[in-house]
Structure 1
Amino acid sequence: MNGDFTQIMRTEHLPTRIATQFSRQIQKGALKPGDKLPTELAMSKSFGVSRTVIREAIAQLRNEGMIETRQGVGAFVIERPTRHIRLDDGGQMDKHAFRDLFQLRVPLEIEAAGLAATYHRAEHLQQMDEALARITATGENANDGIVADLDFHRTIAMATGNDYFVQFLGAISDRIMQTIVASRERLQLDEIVAVVRREHGELRDAIAARDPLRAREAMRTHMRNSAERVALQLEVYA
């Protein structure tokens, strides 16, 4: 593995720090479009972290539009659009940061849901269904539910047909992942899985029905409930 990669301090937000190191290698040209990333096992050993952490880092890079993953083959660097947004602080979030994040997410994701209901294609519904199946994972695969949750929201952004939604959601994907992790730490796994599965299912059905108003309302409810799961009370006006 490239010598520029270093082991990660365990006090840092691990997936974000690993994703940042790969992002810098891509931006410097050390990793070029078409290059294959090392295997999960190789990265786990190199960074000194679990494979679960590596999967979350890969999911973040995918959501940021840095890489693509091919089933059974691996992860590959892709050509990035010229207007690429990335935030690099990667720090742990406190309650104030969570509030700031949701104040941005609420109008962004409500509007995305409405547009997705209007412009989605069949493949977007298929991707949502695949993510929904993974969101319900428990036991050894429970952490895949976190990645699947992020993938579900990215699919909605893609379904808008507007790349700016994908770009902005990708830029805050590590923060969104931290809120998902925080909510799962506050509730029993079975409880959070059931609630999130229901909320995402309602979103998916509203988008599939091509009902923008219903989709916006389903996302509004999901955003409000997501905030409450990390002990926030939001004023939602959208």
Structure 2
Amino acid sequence: MALTDFNQIRRNAHLPARIAAEIGREIVEGRIASGEKLPTEHLLAQTFGVSRSVVREAIAQLRNEGLVETRQGVGAFATEKDRRQMIRVEPADLSDPENFRDLFQLRLALEVEAAALAAVSHTPDDLKRLDEVLAQMTGAAKWTEEGIVADLAFHRAVAAATRNDYFIQFIGFIAERIQLTINAARAKAVLEEIVEVTIAEHVAIRDAIAARDASRARSAMRDHLDGASGRLNLELTVP
């Protein structure tokens, strides 16, 4: 695979989703062959002109879409055609408020229960991962694209803490679509205010999971999603 085939991504783009879309197109159209190893995170980051964490999120999206598989300590590979199970939602589809609303209804169905399950199922390593990404969300990068990447990683970490592969797969699939909602919400409000409110909501989720309080974790995630949808002026019809 020739790295020169890719161009640097515009800084104002939804970075992981755009990178995933470009690599995914190369795989679907056969320019990256089935079973072919992708370049390393370092090389892809250099090529696209982004950080390795952004590339990591893009690869995670492709994995959840069934286009890429990762092998521990080896790297990422294009999935063999007969093993691909692709469900794709293009970023452009979510420019419609109705589609945004549909996404939040799906998130409520999945993530509220995921938080509750994570509260009773998480391991010390899961809690450590939640703390790591929460630290990234609350650090100096919280105002930047890296803060959004950390936000996505938090939701993935909650899914992983369920110890249920299906939650991991389905929440992983919608993680990059969450990025579109985060960007939209940030564009509609005073950045300082919305970032601090969002961080507080995530801290509440983390604390409830750490306390192994399923009811509290469920409520904290519901409060976060209600807050996030409200910041987008969406009225959800989920009971």
Bucket of the pairwise TM-score, normalised by the shorter protein:
0.7 to 0.9
- Name the CA distance, whole Å, in 1 between partners of 2:210 and 2:158: 11
The one-letter code matched in structure 1 to 2:76 is V
Q: Report deviation, 1:142.
A: 1.9
Q: Report deviation, 1:209.
A: 0.8
Q: Match of 2:95, SS?
A: coil
- Name the CA distance, whole Å, in 2 between partners of 1:14 and 1:197: 21
- Name the CA distance, whole Å, in 2 between partners of 1:157 and 1:140: 22
The answer to which of 2-11 and 29-38 deviates more is 2-11
Please list, as runs of the form range in 1=range in 2, the aligned pairs for 1:1-238 lying within 5 A after superposition: 2=2, 5-7=5-7, 15-25=16-26, 28-29=32-33, 32=36, 36-37=40-41, 38-44=43-49, 51=50, 56=54, 58-65=56-63, 66=68, 76-77=75-76, 84-91=85-92, 92-138=94-140, 142-237=144-239
Contact 1:112 1:160 in 2 (8 A): yes
- Name the CA distance, whole Å, in 1 between partners of 2:183 and 2:219: 24
Q: How many residues align?
A: 227
Q: Match of 1:172, SS?
A: helix
TM-score, normalised with respect to structure 1: 0.79
- Name the CA distance, whole Å, in 2 between partners of 1:94 and 1:57: 27
Alignment-derived partner of residue 47 in structure 1: none
Determine which structure has the larger helix proportion and give its number: 2
Structure 1: which 5+ residue stretches go unaligned? 45-50
Question: Do the aligned partners of residues 85 and 214 (structure 1) sit closer, same or farther apart at CA in structure 2, a change above 3 Å counting?
Answer: farther
Q: Report deviation, 1:12.
A: 7.5
The answer to which of 5-14 and 195-204 deviates more is 5-14
Q: Percent identity?
A: 38
- Name the CA distance, whole Å, in 2 between partners of 1:178 and 1:96: 14
Q: Report deviation, 1:3.
A: 6.4
Structure 2: which 5+ residue stretches go unaligned? none
* Deviation sequence 1:149-205 (CA, Å, 0-9, x none): 000000111111111111111222221110011111122222122111110111001
Q: Report deviation, 1:100.
A: 0.8
- Name the CA distance, whole Å, in 1 between partners of 2:209 and 2:78: 29
Question: Do the aligned partners of residues 147 and 67 (structure 1) sit closer, same or farther apart at CA in structure 2, a change above 3 Å counting?
Answer: farther
For the aligned residue pairs, the C-alpha RMSD in angstroms reads 3.4
Question: Do the aligned partners of residues 195 and 31 (structure 1) sit closer, same or farther apart at CA in structure 2, a change above 3 Å counting?
Answer: farther
Contact 1:31 1:77 in 2 (8 A): no
- Name the CA distance, whole Å, in 1 between partners of 2:234 and 2:95: 13
- Name the CA distance, whole Å, in 1 between partners of 2:118 and 2:79: 23
Contact 1:114 1:211 in 2 (8 A): yes
Q: Report deviation, 1:230.
A: 1.2
Contact 2:69 2:77 in 1 (8 A): yes
Contact 2:118 2:161 in 1 (8 A): yes
Question: Do the aligned partners of residues 36 and 87 (structure 1) sit closer, same or farther apart at CA in structure 2, a change above 3 Å counting?
Answer: same
The one-letter code matched in structure 2 to 1:87 is R
- Name the CA distance, whole Å, in 2 between partners of 1:35 and 1:8: 15
Contact 1:64 1:173 in 2 (8 A): no
